[in-house]
Amino acid sequence: MTEFHFFGPTARLHHVGLAVSSIELAKMNDLEVFEDPIQKVRVGFVNVSGTNLELIEPVSEQSPVHNSIKKGHKLVHLCFELDDLQAGIDLATSYQFKVLQEPTPAVAFQNRRIAWVYHPVWGLYELLERDKADETPSV
């Protein structure tokens, strides 16, 4: 199997983003929901059999997720967590990804920065800055 590092060798899958018309209709008890005014969405995270899923609900018709729901697209993006967000963006652009949104703080990730990149073949990706507090020092 060929291995690619579109976003760098430290990139790890963080979650899969799924569009939903209503988080409440997902019937997930005790789900913590965040409203992100920059992204114009409400999000909640669940773990399904070891995979983190982000349920993404648009808060208005101006939300980028609104059109995904209208078209019947549930899978919105894959999110990769990176040590160096800018290096990941630079590497992605070398693979012909286009930057849709420069790094900006995200409410759902304790204001860690995210960026959005898109490739016509590979689709939409969210890049998430790794929390430096989660890193364990190497010995």
Is residue 139 scored above 90 in pLDDT?
no
Residue 3 to residues 8, 11, 78, Cα–Cα distance (Å):
11, 13, 17
Q: How far apart are the first and last CA of the chain?
A: 32
For the whole model, what pTM was predicted? Answer: 0.87
Is residue 138 scored above 50 in pLDDT?
no
Per-residue pLDDT band for 137 (boundaries 50, 70, 90) equals very low
Report pLDDT digits (tens) over 89-108: 999 999 999 999 999 999 99
Token output for 1: 């199997």
